[in-house]
Amino acid sequence: MSNPFTPTFGIVPPYLAGRDQTLARMRTAFQEWKGNPNLSTILIGPRGSGKTAMLSCISDIAREHGWLVADTVARTGMLEDILQRASDSAAEHIDASEKKQLTGLTIGNIFGLSWSADEKVRLNWRSRIGQLLKALNQRGIGLLITVDEVRADVDEMIQLASVYQLLIRDGYKVSLVMAGLPAHVSDLVTNDNVSFLRRSRQNYLGRIPDSDIRCAFLKTVESGGKSIDPQALDLAVTASDGFAYMMQLVGYQMWEMAGAASQIGQREAVQGIQYAEEDFRQGVLKSTYQELSDGDIRFLEAMLQDPEVSILSDISGRLGRSTGYASTYKKRLLQAGIIEETARSRFRFCLPGFRDYLKELHEQI
């Protein structure tokens, strides 16, 4: 019995917990196409919230509806990568008889997408992607572009966003779905060069309800041919703490601890959770902490004095600064997905295990 849990970057798990509404909207968007606002979507969430898996799932949905897909990451060279990925995807839409008739020709020739070095200089990227889309649209084929790890400091990311607006205006059948950390998305949508992105659908991938975690966890275990003790399932739900990646880590380690046994018991659950928490610390918490500024850390350390919920006025008092100063860092940490608001001026840690991780570091100083 192979392990059905997938704590691997970008792999779509067999049961995706708590994202049904977003995926349903995307299915409708690819069916309806023209005028559907969900074709321009940004997935926002902290590390471990399942952004990359969601991008992969949305790509699969697009393919099911006859769209080509070009997946890329925000980095130098991403524009050429999009053209190459789209060309590769086009090959899958050429049936066997057509391929036989076109022996010796490249997909670029078929779609009129072969550019010489001189043409690449003469034709800007907008012209080339426009030629591609025109050829695809004549065959009734749309193109979904997905961009992971968006950043406003990548020049080609800004160029893509700017050109995309013009492609929509030109009536092309094209969709752009992006994903990124809250702070990076905020930097992108507030960039004056791509202000239209503020009108994109912004879906925040927050904590998943325990009921959805429970259902997906149980179905995943059963799909792999095992059962799970009810109390072990309770432990798994609590340890997952509403985070998609943590759920996959917990499930994976529990399954491994069970070995050849047909059921995951409480002992295997406790052992698996311990391993999963260590993996999460190294893969998520450590990286998140390293990206914080000194001001962010001081704000979070001031929160450690509260048993659960913090109040902004208390934090500003502990920092010896104004509430306006404290509000700046509160906003930054909310955007980063490390804390969450529970009521007006009240907030708490929300990233699983981060409070304990920070407390241990603080005590070592």
* Band (111; pLDDT cuts 50, 70, 90): low
Model pLDDT, residue 94: 55
Taking only the tens place, the pLDDT of each residue in 190-221 is 888 888 888 889 998 888 999 999 999 999 99
Q: How many CB atoms lie within 10 A of CB 227?
A: 15
Model pLDDT, residue 251: 97
258 CB contacts (<8 Å, ≥6 apart)? 226, 264, 265, 268
Give the pLDDT mean for 242-263: 95
218 closest CA partner among 262, 251, 259: 251
* Band (93; pLDDT cuts 50, 70, 90): low
Cα distance between residue 89 and residue 87, in whole Å: 5
Cα distance between residue 113 and residue 153, in whole Å: 29
Taking only the tens place, the pLDDT of each residue in 3-22 is 999 998 768 888 888 898 99
CA dihedral over 177, 178, 182, 187, signed as positive or negative:
negative
Amino acid at 90: A
**In this model, does residue 187 exceed pLDDT 60?**
yes
Taking only the tens place, the pLDDT of each residue in 308-364 is 999 999 999 999 999 999 999 998 898 788 898 887 778 999 888 899 999 998 887
126: number of CA atoms within 13 Å, CB side?
A: 13
Which has the higher per-residue pLDDT, 327 or 35?
Answer: 327
Give the pLDDT mean for 164-171: 92
